[in-house]
Amino acid sequence: MTCLLNAFQVIAVDGVCSGVITCPAAEDCLDWLQSITTNISALTKHNVKKINRNFPVNQQIIYMGWVDEKEQDSVQDRMYSSQFLALRGSSLFKFSAPPVTTWDWTRAEKSYTVYEIMCKVLKDSDLLDKRKHCFSVQTECGEDMFYSVELECELLIWEKAFQMATFLEVERIQCKTYACIMESHLMGLTVDFSMGFVCFDAASKAVLWRYKFSQLKGSSDDGKSKIKFLFQNQDNKAIEAKELEFSNLFAVLHCIHAFFAAKVACLDPMFLESQGAATTTGGVGSHSHQCLL
């Protein structure tokens, strides 16, 4: 479903189009959009429930829906293409058409690990053009993708679904290890949901240092490969700097952010209550590098 001023059109999966439907006023157009979106959402929820019966717990669908993706290097508002996004298990999938069979899930245009990407809902000052309800996704390679939806409610559904998918995956894996270099030596950094940060020698596996999440007081990166962590020593309260070099900088940054966000979510009773609801109903949608804590 696409909207332009006081008019809209509905496009089916097979490409059949309703044609442009013009409304007398913007309020009428919005009423139609909201009604159609509500029906699409209800049908999508029903479909998600049926599909999830065939998938194990760690591969459940949290969200499915149409969005408009801004084409790379495009400066014109019309340079958008329709994409179908799905959050399932550990991955964000991008399709040109909705997956119907189990085989379709293996033929996604692209897929990304949810805890290694960053989602950001764009505020007014961040918008690229006249489209209002937009969000960006930064990949593990640092590439920024921009998407828009027709209604604010769709944007909220996407944001909550992404938070939920990330939380569930962090809760499932509990820890993630990345190879790194420290002072010219090959190391490993483990981000552990229970213990925090653990750095060890790659050859001997001997632990060199460990800090809790609460001990991280600041960080910075060079946008290429290096991260400088500032940890507070629990005994003398001194700040201790640790600089590590990674081949996959953005994936590491996003992973750490995801673990921090999951930690914070565990302290929010309302989020935990919504977790149970989301995993039973599924998320829906209709077509129509920041500093670490």
Phi, psi of 62 (to 5 degrees): -100, -30
Q: Residue 164: is it exposed, middle or buried by C-beta count within 10 angstroms (0-12/13-18/19+)? A: buried
Question: Are the beta carbons of 286 and 10 closer than 8 angstroms?
Answer: no
For residue 201, list its beta bridge partners: 187
- pLDDT tens sequence across 94-104: 999 899 888 99
- pLDDT tens sequence across 122-175: 999 999 888 899 999 999 999 999 999 989 999 999 999 999 999 999 999 999
d(CA 86, CA 162): 10
Kindly indicate the confidence band of residue 280, based on its pLDDT and cuts at 50, 70 and 90: very low
Task: Using alpha carbons, select from 201, 204, 203, 256 the residue that is nearest to residue 227.
Answer: 256
Kindly indicate the confidence band of residue 2, based on its pLDDT and cuts at 50, 70 and 90: low
Identify the H or E element spanning 45. Answer: helix 26-52
- pLDDT tens sequence across 172-212: 999 999 999 999 999 999 999 999 999 999 999 999 999 99
Please state which of the ranges 63-67, 105-109, 115-119, 266-270 shows the lowest mean pLDDT: 266-270
Please state which of the ranges 62-71, 77-86, 268-277 shows the lowest mean pLDDT: 268-277
pLDDT value, residue 72:
76
Kindly indicate the confidence band of residue 79, based on its pLDDT and cuts at 50, 70 and 90: confident
pLDDT value, residue 281:
38
pLDDT value, residue 101:
86
Q: Render 187-230 in DSSP notation, one character per residue.
A: EEEEEETTTEEEEEETTT--EEEEE-GGGEEEEEE-SSSEEEEE
pLDDT value, residue 269:
64
Given a cut of 90, is residue 239 above it in pLDDT? yes
Distance in angstroms between the alpha carbons of the first and the last residue of the chain: 39
Given a cut of 70, is residue 277 above it in pLDDT? no
pLDDT value, residue 130:
86
The mean of the pLDDT values for the chain is: 88
pLDDT value, residue 27:
87
Given a cut of 50, is residue 287 above it in pLDDT? no
Question: Are the beta carbons of 217 and 239 closer than 8 angstroms?
Answer: yes
Given a cut of 50, is residue 86 above it in pLDDT? yes
Instruction: Kindly state the tokens that stand for 268.
Output: 């929010």
d(CA 34, CA 208): 56
Domains and CATH numbers, the chain: 175-251+258-263 (2.30.29.30)
Which letter, b or e, does each residue of 218-227 get, where b requires 16 or more Cβ atoms within 10 Å of its Cβ?
ebebeeeeeb
- 175: DSSP letter: E
Across residues 246-264, what is the average pLDDT? 97
Q: In what order do the strands lie in the sheet with 7-9?
A: 2-4, 7-9, 21-22
Q: Residue 72: is it exposed, middle or buried by C-beta count within 10 angstroms (0-12/13-18/19+)? A: exposed
pLDDT above 70: percentage of residues in the chain: 88
Give the amino acid at 208.
L
